[in-house]
Amino acid sequence: MGNQFKTLVLLATLSGLLIAISYWVIGGSSGLIIGIGLAAVTNLFSWYQSDKIALAVYRAQPVTESQAPGLYRMVKKLSDRAKIPMPGVYIVPGQTANAFATGRDPEHAAVAVTEGILQILPEDELEGVIAHELTHIINRDTLTQAVAATVAGAISFLAQMVSYSLWFGGGSRDDDRGGNPLGVLLTVILAPVAATIIQLAISRTREFSADAGAARLTGNPRALARALQRLELTAKQLPLDGNPAFEPLLIINPISGQFLGNLFSSHPATDARVEELLKLERELTTTVY
């Protein structure tokens, strides 16, 4: 429940930030109404279109059982075990090794893996990756991340529009309609950074939960731990190209190196994830025996 509550607070903060920016920049009740409208529209858009956008960004192609029998059967087996509908199965072309899930709920979901991941992971490790993505679907993380990405994008877009207006003579304002120019300038600079930090914090929170859910679904935490270590190594050598807003959907950070530190990372450190999985393995072993 701790992670769920933390995610809820972060999402509420993100939407609140969008509303506050509109109020501060546009001013008065008009800004407040526009901010609430923007938050509502972006959330509604994420609800209905997030899966299509994510799949298009990574050029994922749907596959049938006859086209990818092993992968298809694995997704079906784990979906049945998790008691959720079979999601759509997609393959992303290219040698990069990664995977993601998308969709607003288990009834409207998809799992996508790259050609590269199918080539480098043995069956038990691939099963751990698929279970991780199915856990994201079960927990509605796919919708949460889509909403976070879209709202953060709206904040950045709004800040960019305001910066253009300041540069091209739109900075003259009636004092009754909003804050002072310095406040607007700070908003333009700091708001996108704050939105990005919140979005990435949501992503890091959900990854630990998905790892734990996958370990319980397969009964093999160590296989997922090995997969994460293998995937991190290949991600550094061959990162997956795509829109940065969708990086939190991926199972492993696609950027070579986390040079901006944990604050600006879309994923927890792989060593920390492996440590938690091995700890869970010990707990499961103790429970069995």
* Predicted local distance difference test score (pLDDT) of residue 1: 44
| Residue 176 pLDDT greater than 50, yes or no | no
End-to-end CA distance of the chain: 27
For 234-257, what is each residue's pLDDT tens digit?
887 887 776 666 777 889 876 544
Q: How far apart are CA 84 and CA 80, in angstroms?
A: 6
Least confident of 58-62, 74-78, 242-246, 278-282: 242-246
Residues pairing with 110 in the sheet: 88, 102
Q: How far apart are CA 177 and CA 188, in angstroms?
A: 17
**Contacts by 233-241, CB closer than 8 A, 24 or more apart:** 234/96, 234/97, 234/116, 234/120, 235/96, 235/97, 235/98, 238/95, 238/96, 238/97, 238/116, 239/96, 240/58, 240/92, 240/94, 240/96, 240/98, 240/114, 241/96
Does residue 220 or residue 49 have the better pLDDT? Answer: 220
Residues pairing with 61 in the sheet: 91
Q: How far apart are CA 16 and CA 27, in angstroms?
A: 15
Closest CA to 119 of 92, 137, 100, 101: 92
Does residue 140 or residue 265 have the better pLDDT? Answer: 140
* Predicted local distance difference test score (pLDDT) of residue 258: 45
**CB under 8 Å to 253, separation ≥6 — which residues?**
232, 235, 247, 265, 266, 267
Are 82 and 134 contacting, i.e. CB atoms less than 8 angstroms apart? Answer: yes
| Residue 60 pLDDT greater than 80, yes or no | yes
Crossing angle between the packed helical segments 181-218 and 69-82, to the nearest 10 degrees = 90
* Predicted local distance difference test score (pLDDT) of residue 235: 82
Does residue 166 or residue 70 have the better pLDDT? Answer: 70
Distances (CA, A) of 221 to 131, 215, 245, 256: 11, 4, 29, 25
Catalytic residue among 115, 123, 125, 133: 133
Highest mean pLDDT among 14-28, 202-216, 230-244: 202-216
| Residue 102 pLDDT greater than 80, yes or no | yes
Does residue 153 or residue 106 have the better pLDDT? Answer: 106
Tokens of 198: 């919140």
Q: Taking the model in full, what pTM does it have?
A: 0.75
The model's confidence at residue 178, banded by pLDDT at 50, 70 and 90, is very low
* Predicted local distance difference test score (pLDDT) of residue 183: 57
CA 148-153-157 angle, to 5 degrees, is: 155
Highest mean pLDDT among 100-109, 172-181, 258-267: 100-109
Q: Average the pLDDT over 145-169 and give the result.
A: 66
Average pLDDT, the chain: 78
Closest CA to 98 of 271, 258, 278, 255: 255
Does residue 267 or residue 243 have the better pLDDT? Answer: 267
* Predicted local distance difference test score (pLDDT) of residue 25: 63
Q: Catalytic residue at 276?
A: no
